[in-house]
């Protein structure tokens, strides 16, 4: 089984989404964030179930669509996936460097 790791950027994206939605409905915000977080469970057993992300020219960066959101992830190896961003599909991706893994 693959280990799913949420990066700080992806967690911040979830927090931002929750805060924005909570302005209108705290209950809907909690439901949306929970749904987005749980949507990645499928990756534990089916890591390539997402679609290749067109903004990148690599098979290792893929995404799941959940409602109006794109959950972007990187397949690190056979035992690890990093969730790198949660992006509202209505917004343009303007800074793809957010999705790139920092070199150590």
Please check whether residue 18 lies inside any domain of the structure.
yes
- How many domains does the chain fold into? 1
Task: Supply the range of the domain harboring residue 80.
Answer: 3-96
Instruction: With H, G, I as helix, E, B as strand and everything else as coil, classify residue 11.
Output: helix
Task: Supply the pLDDT for residue 17.
Answer: 96
Residue for token digits 């749904």? 35
Encode pLDDT of 3-32 as tens digits: 999 999 999 999 999 999 999 999 999 999
Encode pLDDT of 37-83 as tens digits: 999 999 999 999 999 988 888 899 999 999 999 999 999 999 999 99
Task: Supply the pLDDT for residue 55.
Answer: 82
pTM score of the predicted model? 0.83
Q: What is the CATH classification number for the domain harbouring 77? A: 3.30.2310.20
Closest CA to 56 of 73, 76, 43, 80: 73
DSSP secondary structure string for all residues of 14-55:
HHHHHHHHHTT-HHHHHHHHHHHHHGGGGGGT-TT-SEEPTT
Would you say residue 100 has pLDDT above 90? Answer: no
Please check whether residue 104 lies inside any domain of the structure.
no
Those residues with Cβ within 8 angstroms of residue 1's Cβ, 6 or more apart along the chain or in another chain:
44, 45
């Amino acid at each position: 089984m693959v280990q799913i790791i949420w990066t700080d950027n992806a967690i911040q994206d979830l927090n931002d989404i929750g805060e924005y939605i909570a302005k209108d409905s705290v209950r809907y915000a909690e439901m949306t964030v929970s749904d987005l977080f749980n949507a990645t469970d499928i990756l534990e057993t089916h890591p390539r179930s997402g679609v290749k992300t067109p903004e990148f020219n690599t098979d290792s960066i893929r995404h799941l669509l959940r409602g109006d959101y794109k959950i972007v992830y990187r397949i690190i190896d056979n035992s690890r996936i990093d969730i790198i961003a949660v992006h509202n599909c209505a917004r343009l991706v303007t800074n793809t460097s957010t999705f790139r893994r920092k070199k150590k």
